[in-house]
A and B are shown apart, each in its own frame.
Chain A
Amino acid sequence: MLPNKKLLLFAIVLLAATLRFYKIETNPPGLFWDEASNGYNAYSILKTGRDEYGKFLPLIFKSYNDYRPPLYIYALVPTIKVFGLNEFAVRLPSALFGTVAVLCTYFIVNLLAKNNRIALLAAVFLAMSPWHIQFSRGGFEANLMSALMLLGFLIFLLSLKKPKLLIISSIFFALALNTYQGAKIWTPLFLIALIFWYRNELIKYRKLLVMPAAILIIAALPILLNFNDSFIRGKSVSIFNESKYPLNDFVNSYLSYFSPNFLFNRGDSIGRHSVTGMGQLYVFEIPLIVLGLLYLVSKKTRANKFLLTWFLIAPIPAAISTPNPHALRAITFIPMYSLLAALGASSFMQKASKTKVKIILTAALFLIGTYNFNTYLHLYYKHYPKEKGPDWQEGYKGALTYVAQNYQNYQKVVISDALLKPYIYTLFYLKYDPAKYQGQSEDKSKFAHFNFFQGSWDEQVEGKTLFVTSEYQGYPNHILKEVYSSNGDMVFRISDNQ
């Protein structure tokens, strides 16, 4: 690799890191309850070796009404040890592995396409992908899973020349399996596709497959040994739950992931998954992705056939759940679109014969791309915190920071359930001693002298009481503090009965 290409790759990785780390503790605004739960459980593991329910080093974590895979929580233990229990520590692994995914994509594409330019393009498209940035900046387990899958695939490709690397590849796939709910469907699907298209090599090295197979089986044990609990979440969001026409619903869901409106115009309607005003991808990528797809279909190499298989199976884990389309559950799609855009760009640069036309079209795409990217940054940093605060439970931090400084002055602290799951935010922002909490963790309506309520405040009075009520609830007259969101709306009112 020539030095200037190394420099380009370094610049792309630096861009990816900047876009993923810059102001990560304040944008997204607030901490989603899954992030708070993961963070507190990691803190509990760090302090006591047990989760919030007192279970010693669990292989599956109970969280609200379901059970989640453990890896992201264990990945948080060192970050919380170093940085403390805060938003930055909770989001750090996702941002870090989001950056690693960009580097992986470069090497994967370089190995598959044997073309450094396409690899660099794929890396830059992923680095600036709104879909990928969105999930790299939140504490999303799915993002870690996606990066681990890419690492596993990269090492698999390297193992085609050095078969002993299959063991390391299987370790990464095994880790991915224990990172995110969707991995229980995605990992087997991906491995089946891999085994099918690379079966000749795998048959040649079949004696070396024993250890990787054993690693994958061992990795699957936490799921198999807790089978019912492992699939509670899957059953609760399955499209087959109450569907009259399950096949029809599945096909509709599956096709929604190829909808141009979802991809380029409106994006996912869930506030945590995209910015308003644009799709999951940039508009300038439309012609590139179309060209890339045509290239994949027309050049029938094994690598292209595998990539096409990946493209077609990526939405399956998301399509069997609701709602649809769901950008997070389809996270495995993202590297494919970056690759397609890169293939399309390269294909265009090779095939466009008239230099003047090529220059004009390239300039037009570059201008539109620059405008798209700039608009995305504006929407993400200026609009997103103001529009999507409620989706991230913005307000808890402001309220509970005040509570943390003053709760010792009160006999009782009563916190509204209006924004949901107040108990986990109280534990998180107060850094409540996990050893004390574990014994009383089954009752989510209260712990110690903290109560979480839905009805009227005056039913909660017990001596000197501190109240944290939402904007729409009644409250005692003595107001101590009002907590506002980024868009200026009041979220909480803190008052007492003095």
Chain B
Amino acid sequence: MIKTITFLLISFLIIAKSGWDYSECNIRTAKQALAPKLWFEQAIDGSSQNTLVTRFYHNKISMITAEIAHCYFERLSPNFFFEISGIFGTFSIIYLLYWLTVRRRLIYLSCLLLAPAIPVLSYNLPTSGLTVALLAFLYKGLAAAGLGLFLFKK
């Protein structure tokens, strides 16, 4: 009974939590950042350095991967979990990740880890905002699931 009340109360807090960062961060913004970044890094290396060496360290593949990774990690970070679902929700999501890993539920784990890629695949500001909102509600649901697992089925 106490566990059920606790679950309902905390789930309500998780779902009711509002206010998160809608800023656009996707393949489009990653591509925009690429050219100036590449120019900047190559300018520092200078023309005296062998081109192959410059391309080894500063190339489009590694830079765009870093930019896309930045967008991905923005949505798979404890701070984002906290923004979406509060402290209990953050704990619940992390607990869910841990539970899926040790129980080797790899398909569910893969889905959870792929979810932050959804906003990354958006193509403009409105779709970015929509996908972030979708992700936020998905996380809220997962937080509730994680909380349920913690309380009822360790």
Task: Please give the residue numbers on chain A whose beta carbons come within 8 Å of chain B beta carbons, in ascending order.
Answer: 251-252, 255-256, 258-261, 264-266, 277, 294, 297-298, 374-375, 378-379, 382-383, 386-387, 487
Q: Tell me which of B2-10, B74-82, B138-146 binds A.
A: B74-82
Contact of A265 with B98 at beta-carbon distance under 8 Å, contacts A255-B79, A259-B77, A260-B76 already known? no
Report the nearest B residue to A486, measured CB to CB: B44
Q: Tell me if A's interface is mostly helix, strand, loop or mixed.
A: helix
Residues of the A chain whose Cβ atoms lie less than 8 Å from the Cβ of B102: 294, 298
Contact B82 A251 (CB under 8 A): yes
29 residue pairs A–B, Cβ–Cβ below 8 Å: A251-B87, A255-B77, A255-B78, A255-B82, A255-B90, A256-B78, A256-B79, A258-B77, A258-B78, A259-B73, A259-B77, A259-B79, A260-B73, A261-B70, A261-B73, A265-B69, A265-B73, A277-B41, A294-B98, A297-B98, A378-B57, A379-B57, A382-B44, A382-B45, A383-B44, A383-B45, A386-B44, A387-B44, A487-B44
Bound CA span A251–B82, Å = 8
Shortest beta-carbon contacts, A-B, top 8: A255-B78, A260-B73, A261-B73, A259-B77, A258-B78, A378-B57, A255-B79, A383-B44
Contact of A261 with B57 at beta-carbon distance under 8 Å, contacts A251-B82, A487-B44 already known? no
Contact A261 B77 (CB under 8 A): yes
Contact B44 A260 (CB under 8 A): no
Contact of A260 with B77 at beta-carbon distance under 8 Å, contacts A277-B41, A375-B57, A383-B41 already known? yes
Bound CA span A256–B82, Å = 10
Bound CA span A294–B101, Å = 9
Contact B82 A252 (CB under 8 A): yes
Bound CA span A487–B69, Å = 29
Contact of A265 with B66 at beta-carbon distance under 8 Å, contacts A260-B77, A298-B102 already known? yes
Residues of the B chain whose Cβ atoms lie less than 8 Å from the Cβ of A374: 57
**Tally of chain B residues near chain A (CB < 8 A):** 20
Contact A252 B66 (CB under 8 A): no
Residues of the A chain whose Cβ atoms lie less than 8 Å from the Cβ of B44: 382-383, 386-387, 487
Bound CA span A383–B101, Å = 39
Residues of the A chain whose Cβ atoms lie less than 8 Å from the Cβ of B73: 259-261, 264-265
Residues of the A chain whose Cβ atoms lie less than 8 Å from the Cβ of B45: 382-383
Bound CA span A294–B70, Å = 24
Min CB distance, B98 to chain A, in Å? Answer: 7
Min CB distance, B60 to chain A, in Å? Answer: 14
- What 0/1 pattern do residues 86 to 102 of B give for CB contact below 8 A with A? 01001000000010011
Bound CA span A114–B66, Å = 37
Report the nearest A residue to B53, measured CB to CB: A378
Residues of the B chain whose Cβ atoms lie less than 8 Å from the Cβ of A379: 57
Residues of the A chain whose Cβ atoms lie less than 8 Å from the Cβ of B74: 261
- What 0/1 pattern do residues 49 to 80 of B give for CB contact below 8 A with A? 00000000100000000100110011011110
| B window 119-147: CB within 8 A of A | none
Residues of the A chain whose Cβ atoms lie less than 8 Å from the Cβ of B41: 277, 383
Contact A259 B78 (CB under 8 A): yes
Bound CA span A382–B43, Å = 11
Report the nearest A residue to B49, measured CB to CB: A382
Residues of the A chain whose Cβ atoms lie less than 8 Å from the Cβ of B66: 265, 277
